[in-house]
Each structure stands twice: as C-alpha cells, then as structure tokens.
Amino acid sequence: MSDTIVYWVWLNELAGLSLKAKRKLLAAYGNPKEIFQATLDGVREVLDKGFPSSLSASSVAESPKELAFVTVWAGRNLKTAETILTDNEKHAIQVLPASDQHYSPICTADLQAPLVLYYRGTLSAPSAPVFGVIGSRSCTPYGEMVTKAAVADLVEKGNIIASGLSFGIDALAHKTTLEHQGVTYAFLPCGLHKAQPASHTALMEQIADAGAMITPYAFGKEALPFRFIGRNAVLSSWCSHLLVIEARIESGSMNTARTALAKGKRVLAVPNSLFEPKSCGTNYLLSVGAVAYVNDRLSDRDRTQRPLASEPSVCPGEGAIVEALRQQALTTSEIAVLVNDTNLSVMECLADLELAEKVVFRSDGKWHLAGSL
C-alpha cells in the first residue's frame, strides 16, 4: 500500500475542516501529504480565511473560530489514521482514496462524496456498470417477485448489483445476484467491523467473497441515524442507474432515490396499486422524474402471448382468482401468492377482471367478487 494512504485517511478523518475546505486544499497542494506538511500561513492563504499575515494564537484570541482552526492545525498528527490502518490490516479492509481509479471519477463528479471509502472484497473493473436495486424492508410478495426477475435480468446483462444489505428487498437483491453467480456491492452505514443488521453477518461474508462491502465509515464506527443518510449518498453516487422496487413515502429508499435524482442519475421505479402503502413512494417517484421499470424479457414474452385486440382477453389465473374471492376478499399480494404468479401477470389479470365487472377493489385494500358484500 502506498505510503500516501495514511495521509488520505488523516485528511478524510480530520475534524475542524469542512469537506469543501479539504477539497480546496487538495486542488492547491495536489495530495494530502503535501497538505499535512504545509505551514499554517500557507493553508490560511489557500483557504482565504482573512487571517493576519503573522498568524498566532494571541493574534486571533478574539476570534474563537480562527483560534479553533489554529489549534486544530497545530495539533495535527497521524495517530488516528495509523490506528485505522492497523485495524484495517487485521480485518482485510482496504482503503479507497479519491485518487484510486475505481473512485476518482465518482469523487470528482460528486463534490459531496467523501475523500476516502473503506472496502472488503474485490472491486470489479472501473468500467463495469453498477445498477442499484433497493426497496422496502418489509416487502410484499409482488415486490419479491419483481426483485428476483429484475436482478436475474440485470446480472445476465453484466451489471454489478448494488444495495444496502438491509432486510427485505436489499438482502433479496444481494442473494439473487449470488444465486446467479453475479457480482454485488453492499454499502454499509457503519464500519466494516460488523454487518448491519447483525443477522446478515453470513450474507456479508458471502458478498465479500463475490464482490465487495463498501462504507464511508472507518472501522469501529457504529450505525447512527445520520450515517444511513451518508451510506445512501455514497450508494447513489456509485450507481449509473437506481431501481426502486417498493418504498413508502417516508423511507430510506426514498431518501436514496431523491439523492440519486438530484445527482442526475437515471432512477427507475416499479409501478403498483395506488392502494398499496409500500408502493406510495415508487408511484410518487414516477411523477417527479423517475422512469417506469420494464423487464424486457417479461415484456417480450407478454407480447408474444397477448391475444389480438379482436379476440376476447384471456386471463390464465381467472378461474383460481374468482374461486378464491368467492370464499373471502384478498389483497393483491395474497392473490399473487395464491396463483403462483411467477410471470408477474396478476396485475393485468385483475385489471381485465375489473373491466369485465367481475371483481372490484374496495376501500379496505382488498379485491372482492363483484356483487358480494
């Protein structure tokens, strides 16, 4: 590992300087080692703080902000960075600085991206496309089916699948990628000393063997609420596309999607019933710039099997659905499980039945047989 890595970690972890200021110093000095060795006056000149030409603690005693900066700079050392690197070496964690070929284009394009990331595993070639797949932690059967179909298709097309290792759709996206011998990146809201959630420890190890675990946080840092936001931002920066399967309006997935849209990334969302709470977010995304997700393989098969307009519409699951609704009202997800809807046609089938006035969707969030109470 290059001896400059310790200086990258030092600069990234340095408290008392904003990310904007650190980037300004990098632009002026070229690398963190030169910044570390710079004089206080030299740094002051780059940052244009307006300090007196002869800078000392006594000359800035009336300015707490300037005095704090003087104290930070006078006390700079590599101890924290060296401790982090020692922990990294013990746990096979690598440092990914802004100068690395994998991260440089991302960090350059996103001025809010941290100067250093940490990872375990193996990163694919920088040119490999990274496709984010995220969604609800408590996904519906419909969301599960879409996730499996989407990830299988994306892996077959050569995409790396990125997600957040959370419960629900995130974990399913990772597992489906592994099942199809694909490469997956998991982004964590904590250091790489543990999985988040802890119950995904085994999955974390599988991902590290077939891809990489990535985080902006050093070894030992816990998953505090604000770090989930930081994790989401890094995930969105790495992806050229982001697919949101299911999401409530107020959710981490929506935060990631909004961040990706703000960064100019292509965001795709899976449309679903307006009465399904876990799809309120994805339906909303479609109204603010996201693109409706279409699985080419399923769409092609659907077109070959669809009857001509002059022929009566055929719903393969009609009999099973009608018979089930004779017994009790059911949600869309319950119907999907009932008819083993592996080709995702249940929504179209229900629409056909509704147009034929055979079923109705009521305010209880369930489908009823027309005429039933």
- Are residues 211 and 147 both part of a single domain? yes
The rounded mean pLDDT for the chain is 85
The DSSP line for 140-208 is -HHHHHHHHHHHHHHHHTTPEEEE---TTHHHHHHHHHHHTT--EEEE-SS-TTS-SSGGGHHHHHHHH
- Are residues 292 and 333 both part of a single domain? no
- Domain assignment present for residue 227? The answer is yes
- Are residues 9 and 56 both part of a single domain? yes
pLDDT at 47: 86
On the question of pLDDT at 36 being above 60, the answer is yes
- Picking from 264, 296, 328, the residue at the C-terminal end of a domain is 296
The C-alpha atoms of residue 89 and residue 13 are separated, in whole angstroms, by 18
- Among residues of the chain, what percentage have pLDDT more than 90? 58
pLDDT at 310: 36
- Domain assignment present for residue 73? The answer is yes
**Of the given ranges (45-54, 112-121, 177-186, 209-218), which has the lowest mean pLDDT?**
45-54
Give, in order, the Cα–Cα distances in Å from 50 to each of 29, 35, 39, 66, 87: 19, 19, 16, 10, 39
Pair 360, 370: CB distance under 8 Å: yes
**Of the given ranges (175-179, 248-252, 366-370), which has the lowest mean pLDDT?**
366-370
On the question of pLDDT at 196 being above 80, the answer is yes
- Domain assignment present for residue 98? The answer is no
| Residue range 116-127, pLDDT digits in tens | 999 999 999 999
If one counts the domains in the chain, the total is: 3
pLDDT at 305: 38
Predicted model pTM: 0.76
- Are residues 140 and 283 both part of a single domain? yes
**Of the given ranges (126-130, 269-273, 302-306, 340-344), which has the lowest mean pLDDT?**
302-306
pLDDT at 363: 60
- Domain assignment present for residue 272? The answer is yes
- Are residues 280 and 182 both part of a single domain? yes
Q: For the chain, how far is it from start to end, CA to CA, in angstroms?
A: 71
- Are residues 146 and 268 both part of a single domain? yes
CATH code at 175?
3.40.50.450
- Domain assignment present for residue 100? The answer is no
pLDDT at 330: 85
| Residue range 77-101, pLDDT digits in tens | 999 999 999 999 999 999 999 999 9
- Are residues 312 and 275 both part of a single domain? no
Going by C-alpha positions, the residue among 197, 300, 203 that lies closest to residue 252 is 197
Order the strands of the 184-187 sheet from edge to edge. Answer: 94-97, 116-121, 212-215, 184-187, 160-163, 130-134, 241-244, 266-269, 291-292
- Domain assignment present for residue 106? The answer is no
Return the amino acid letter for 358: K
Alpha carbon 188 to its chain's center: 9
pLDDT at 372: 64
On the question of pLDDT at 239 being above 50, the answer is yes
- Domain assignment present for residue 99? The answer is no
Domain of 250?
A: 118-296
Confidence grade of residue 229 (pLDDT, cut at 50, 70, 90): very high
The C-alpha atoms of residue 142 and residue 335 are separated, in whole angstroms, by 10
- Are residues 291 and 311 both part of a single domain? no
- Are residues 40 and 22 both part of a single domain? yes
Cβ–Cβ contacts within 10 Å for residue 21, how many?
Answer: 16
pLDDT at 165: 96
Pair 317, 346: CB distance under 8 Å: yes
- Picking from 75, 90, 105, the residue at the C-terminal end of a domain is 90
CATH code at 316?
1.10.10
- Domain assignment present for residue 18? The answer is yes
Q: Which residue has better confidence, 325 or 344?
A: 325
On the question of pLDDT at 147 being above 50, the answer is yes
Mean pLDDT score, 134-146: 91
- Picking from 253, 273, 296, the residue at the C-terminal end of a domain is 296
Write the Ramachandran bin of 48: left for phi over 0, alpha for psi from -120 to 50, otherwise beta: left
On the question of pLDDT at 370 being above 90, the answer is no
Confidence grade of residue 54 (pLDDT, cut at 50, 70, 90): very low
- Are residues 239 and 276 both part of a single domain? yes
- Are residues 195 and 147 both part of a single domain? yes
Please report which helix (H) or strand (E) contains residue 121, including its range: strand 116-121
| Residue range 156-185, pLDDT digits in tens | 999 999 999 999 999 999 999 999 999 999
Residue 369 phi, psi dihedral angles, 5° rounding: -70, 135
Residues in the chain: 373
- Are residues 134 and 65 both part of a single domain? no
Confidence grade of residue 348 (pLDDT, cut at 50, 70, 90): low
pLDDT at 345: 58
On the question of pLDDT at 10 being above 70, the answer is yes
| Residue range 304-334, pLDDT digits in tens | 333 333 334 445 678 888 888 888 888 877 8
